[in-house]
A and B are shown apart, each in its own frame.
Chain A
Amino acid sequence: MQPIELKEGIYWVGAIDWELRNFHGYLTPRGSTYNAYLIIDEKITLIDTVKHHLYEEMIARIAQIIDPAQINYLVSSHVEMDHSGGIPRLAEVAKNITIVTSSRGETGLKNHYGQKWSFQVVKSGEVLPIGKRSLKFIHTPMVHWPDNMVGYLSAEKILFTSDAFGQHLASAERFDDELPRDIVMEEAKRYYANIVLPHSSQVIKAMQAVSGLEVELIAPSHGLIWRSRIPEIMAAYREWAANRTTETAVIVWDSMWGSTAKIARALQTAFENKGIRARMLPLGVNHISDVMTEVLTARYICVGSPTLNNGMLPTVSSFLTYLKGLAPKERVGLAFGSYGWGGQSISQVEEVLRSCGFELLDKIKVQYVPDQNTLQKITDNLQAKLP
């Protein structure tokens, strides 16, 4: 278990979670890392810890550099347990440790772990001297926890961004240029879509707050450290946070006897005829978190469900609950589906899309099995509405 030196005296000492495949409901096909960073100075400072079950891995890396008992400060960037879960055992070893956090961080850590540690609360803009270096903190509330803050080392130009710019990506590599670009950006996009998206307006504010800083390394709390693609990931975050989409569509549905799937294909044809790429995402084989990754950059969100027991299929309601919570904006929605009797599902889907604030195209509702004429009309009608 080796540490990785980022700059002289500053090390990555985190843990690699090769087994993680599900992060509270978000699929993580490439695993993840929990990044902890050790700064060797007069006050030895550790930024965040790791998920509790990988504590030994973090300590083994730290022990290659110093005796963990010597750590003076533990900076908690936010309370979430994948980063704070190592604090209880660390505090038993490093008996004089002080936990440096925001005031909400102090409250949150006490609510998670009890009252037992010594805390030093830092305000936004406050600078903590740690020897020849100083660590500056900027609060970034709700990116993505109330207590979130980022840390900045001006001498080395390293910005420790907590979960912002993270990716769930387990790898032997530590830097963004050591893996193919598309893998890194795909995981950054998946992370944004599933974790950061609802906090986009706070992201814009946080990016303004750090915009004056010179940054050579972005050190997030998950995944690879950015050093070669900083302008690219910053530009991507600006696009995603502003809800800027491309003129593309996602068609998301589930079907019982194939009729709703037929409507999905009729919609696909309409988009194709207009030169708009449509991604087909049947919920029987696509996880809602992967669908969200596609939703992040698509302007048209078409959602279909047949009517079952006077409502929509549970797979579709699950997706819609997730979609609404992640709160993408500036989208165009379209509800569709087939039905046998009541046909309530289509209006229910439309109601959720409306409550998301989407502009709506006319919903499409077909009894039983749509014939060729009906499908052609669906295509023609949608095509007429598209730019």
Chain B
Amino acid sequence: MTDHKYRCTACGYVYEPDAGDSPSGIEPGTPFEKLPDDWTCPVCGVGKDFFVPVIEEA
């Protein structure tokens, strides 16, 4: 599960663990679950609780 992408339900941004979020100091390779609790969507500012896992079709 740790390499899952997560989508922001407010604005549609997708957090990709491989890319991280460098403007917020998040290293590439950081799983969503390891993001700090106060991390917010880099696009729209809502909290982690507004993110849902991206279900990828096989």
The chain A residues found within 8 Å of chain B, CB to CB, are 102, 104, 139, 141-142, 146-147, 199, 201-202, 205
Contacts and interface: CB of A to CB of B under 8 A. Distances in A.
B11 A146 contact: yes
Contacts of A146: 11, 43-45
B30 interface: no
A302 B47 CA distance: 34
Contacts of B14: none
Contact of A201 (B40, B41, B43, B50): B50
Interface in B1-40: 9-11, 40
Contacts of A104: 44-45
A202 B11 CA distance: 11
B43 A202 contact: no
B45 A147 contact: yes
A142 B11 CA distance: 8
Contacts of B44: 104, 141-142, 146
A16 B3 CA distance: 52
User: Which of B40, B44, B47 has the most chain A CB atoms closer than 10 A to its own CB?
Assistant: B44
A199 B10 contact: yes
A6 B37 CA distance: 40
Contacts of A201: 9-10, 50
Contacts of B9: 201
A336 B1 CA distance: 40
Contacts of A202: 10, 46, 50
Contacts of B47: 205
A199 B45 CA distance: 13
B31 to A, nearest CB: 23
A139 B45 CA distance: 9
Nearest to A102: B45
A43 to B, nearest CB: 27
B30 to A, nearest CB: 22
User: Which of B10, B43, B44, B45 has the most chain A CB atoms closer than 10 A to its own CB?
Assistant: B45
A203 to B, nearest CB: 11
Given A104-B44, A142-B45, A202-B10, 6 more contacts: A141-B10, A141-B40, A141-B41, A141-B45, A141-B46, A142-B44
A104 B47 CA distance: 15
Nearest to A139: B45
A140 B46 CA distance: 8
Nearest to A141: B45
Contacts of B40: 141
Contacts of A147: 45
22 contacts: A104-B44, A139-B45, A141-B10, A141-B40, A141-B41, A141-B45, A141-B46, A142-B10, A142-B11, A142-B44, A142-B45, A142-B46, A146-B11, A146-B43, A146-B44, A199-B10, A201-B10, A201-B50, A202-B10, A202-B46, A205-B46, A205-B47
